[in-house]
Amino acid sequence: MGWKAAQKVFKHWRVLRGDNVMIMGGKDKGLTGKVQEVLRSKNMVYIEGRNLVKKHIKKNGENPGGIVTMESPIHVSKLRHIDPVTNAACRVIFRYLEDGTKVRVTTGGTASGSVIPRPEILKQRRTLIPVKPGRNDTLKDDVLERTYDPSSGSGGLPSFMSS
């Protein structure tokens, strides 16, 4: 892949967090796993327990440091979905059902043409952490306070500029 192709970001993502996929290239070729995290800006995904690399961590504070084994991201083009019926690697296309809902459908030689359901982990909503106003933040009451009166007759100009 050239540098121009690497800059392009996919518009229509077929791989979602929680999907079962098979790796089609690289050192883990032929192995399956569940998508743990999706990096859309880089066209990469993390798969649980796959594409493991050793990373050297420097010692600091409470961290003792040393060599840590961790997952590294895999490019989306090296992945195929697992067909839920045949358990084989297949391509995925989008189709619309009679009621108008958009679904992912398996296609290709070993595919059964079945619908790949949306992963359960995506149905759970994440709760946002409440943010406390900081020292330099404007309070809501100050923002909503009305400070301009159009009936004053000055036309919106300060008193020193109106004469």
- In a domain, residue 138? The reply is no
CA distance 73 to 89: 20
CA 10 to chain centroid, in Å, comes to 12
Number of domains into which the chain is organized: 1
- In a domain, residue 66? The reply is yes
The boundaries of the domain holding residue 65 are 3-122
Going by C-alpha positions, the residue among 70, 104, 72, 78 that lies closest to residue 21 is 78
- Structure pTM? 0.67
Going by C-alpha positions, the residue among 66, 80, 67 that lies closest to residue 31 is 80
- In a domain, residue 142? The reply is no
pLDDT in tens, 86-143: 999 999 999 999 999 999 999 988 888 899 988 888 877 777 777 887 888 888 888 8
- In a domain, residue 77? The reply is yes
- In a domain, residue 82? The reply is yes
- In a domain, residue 131? The reply is no
- In a domain, residue 145? The reply is no
Here the CATH number for the domain that contains residue 99 is 2.30.30.30
